[in-house]
Structure 1
Amino acid sequence: MFERFTKEARNSVVQAQAEARALAHRTIGPEHVLLGLLDGGGPAAHALRDHGVWPVALRTAVARRAGTGPLDAEALRTLGIDLDAVREAAEETFGEGALDAPAGRFRKGHIPFTRDSKKALELSLRHAVRLKHDRIADGHILLGLLHDEGFASAQILTDMGVDLDGLRGDITRMLDADAA
C-alpha cells in the first residue's frame, strides 16, 4: 500500500513515528499521524491550519490526552503546590529547563502502529479509491483519520472545536482540485 503514497503522505507517516517518540509514547496512534500531517506542507496541513489547528496546540492536546502533557499549575495550586516555586528550585539545582525534558524521555527502536492508526491508513486507501485517485495523498490520510469519530485524532479535533464535516468537505475539495 505504501508504494501508492505520495512523498508528502510517506513523510507524514515517518513524522508520526518521530512525534510518538518525542512524546515518549509506546505506540503510534491516529493522533500521532495527525501531528505528522500537520508538520507537512501539503493540503492536509493547510486544511488543518485553515480550521485553526496549529502544531503547538495539537501537540499539547495529544500529550494531555495521554497524560504526558505539561503540568497544570492551577490544579497543583489546589493541592498547595506552587509550580513556579518548584520550577525555580529545580532550575537552580539542575539548570534551566530541568522540568521540560526528563532524562531518557526519547524512546529508541521501532514503535508499532496501533490498530486504529493502521485502520485509518487503510481507510485512506478507500477514500482515494472512492474519489477515483490513483495515489494516496496526505489529504486521503486526513480523511482516514476523520472517518471514525472514535479515533483519537477525530476526538482531539472535536475537543479543539474543529467542525469535522467542514474539514472533510474542505480536504475533499482540495484533493479533487489537485487531481484535476
Structure 2
Amino acid sequence: MWNRFTVSARQVIVTAQTQRRALRHDFIGTEHLLLGLLDDEAGPVAALLRDAGIDADRVRTEIAAMERRELGETDAEALRSIGIDLDAVRASVEQTFGEGALEAPLPPGRRRLFGGRLPRTRLSPRAQKVLELSLRESLRLRHDQIGPEHILLGLLREGEGLAASILTRAGLDLDDLRRRTVHALGAAA
C-alpha cells in the first residue's frame, strides 16, 4: 500500500510522526495525521481545513485539553501537592537514559517477500484504519494514488478518532467537509 502514497501523502505521515514525537505520544493517532495534513500550508487540504476554521494551533490546543482531561485536574494537583512534576520526571529520565526512553518499544519489523524490512511505524489502530480507508477512498474515486485528500477522506470516514472529535467540537459537519473535499478533488482533476 505504501507505494500508492504520493510524495505529499508520505510527507503527511512523516510530519505526523514528527508531531507524535514533539507531543511525546507513544503512537501516531488520528490527531497527528490531522496535524500532518495541516502542515502543508500551500496544499489544498490545509487550505480546505483552514477555510473551515481549523489550524494546527487549534488542534494542538485541543490535544492538550484532552490530555488534561485524561489525567484530571485533581490528579495533577494531587501529584503537584506532593512535589511530583511529571514534566521534570520525564526530562530527568530522558537525560539519564536518552530521548524517547519512556516510549513503548517498536514491534519487530516485518519482512518483505524479497528480504528487506517494512518501515516500522507507531500507528494506533485507529490511525491504521484511517490509512486503510484512504486507500478505499482512492479506489472508490478511481484514483491511482493516495494523496493527502484521500487521507482526509479516510479520517472523516473513520469518524470516531480524536481528530474527528476535534473537528466536530469546532462545529464542523463531517459529512459537509467530506463533500467539500470530494468537490475539491473533482475540481483539481
Give TM-score, length-normalised by structure 2.
Answer: 0.72
Tell me the equivalent position of 2:63.
Answer: 62
1:150 corresponds to 2:151 = no
Tell me how far apart the structure 1 counterparts of residues 26 and 68 of structure 2 sit (CA, whole Å).
13
Q: Counterpart in 2 of 1:96?
A: none
State whether residues 23 and 68 of structure 1, in contact with CA within 8 Å, keep that contact through their aligned partners in structure 2: no
Which amino acid in structure 1 is aligned with residue 175 of structure 2? Answer: D
Q: Is the 8 A contact 2:133 2:158 kept in 1?
A: no
Partner of 2:115: none
User: Cα deviations across residues 107-137 of structure 1 (Å, max 9, x unaligned)?
Assistant: 3786610000000000001001111111111
Between 157-166 and 119-128, the greater mean CA deviation after superposition: 157-166
1:5 aligns with 2:16: no
Aligned 8 A contact 2:6 2:145 in 1: yes
- Code of the residue aligned with 1:156 in structure 2: it is I
Where structure 1 has 5 or more consecutive residues not aligned to the other structure, the ranges are 70-74, 80-98
In the alignment, the residues of structure 1 paired with residue 100 and residue 156 of structure 2 have an alpha-carbon distance, to the nearest angstrom, of 28
Question: What SS class does the counterpart of residue 59 from structure 1 fall into?
Answer: helix
Quick one: distance in 2 between partners of 1:13 and 1:68?
A: 27
Question: What residue in structure 2 maps to residue 126 of structure 1?
Answer: 136
* Cα deviation code 1:73-115 (max 9, x no counterpart): xx79xx8xxxxxxxxxxxxxxxxxxx8xx73496378661000
Q: 2-side partners of 1:66 and 1:6: how far apart?
A: 32
CA distance in 2, matches of 1:42, 1:107: 31
- Structure 2 gap ranges (5+): 78-86, 107-120
**Would the alpha carbon gap of residues 125 and 135 (structure 1) be closer, same or farther in structure 2, given more than 3 Å must change?**
same
**Matches of 1:68 and 1:13 in 2, distance apart?**
27
Q: Which deviates more from structure 2 when the two are superposed, residues 137-146 or residues 156-165?
A: 156-165
Moved >2 Å (runs of 4+)? 66-69, 102-111
Residue of structure 1 equivalent to 2:150: 140
Q: Number of matched residues?
A: 153
- TM norm structure 1: 0.75
**Pair 1:121–1:45, CA change in 2 (3 A):** same
Q: How far apart in 1 are the matches of 2:58 and 2:132?
A: 27
What SS is found at the alignment partner of 2:68?
coil
Aligned partner of 2:54: which letter?
Answer: V
Identity %, equivalent residues: 44
C-alpha separation between the residues in 2 aligned to 1:60 and 1:32?
13
2:37 aligns with 37
Asked if structure 1 preserves the Cα contact closer than 8 Å seen for 2:28 and 2:122, the reply is yes
Q: Kindly provide the amino acid, as one letter, of the partner of residue 32 in structure 1.
A: H
Q: Is 2:27 the counterpart of 1:27?
A: yes
Tell me how far apart the structure 2 counterparts of residues 45 and 107 of structure 1 sit (CA, whole Å).
29
Give me the whole-angstrom Cα distance separating, in 2, the residues matched to 1:127 and 1:47: 18
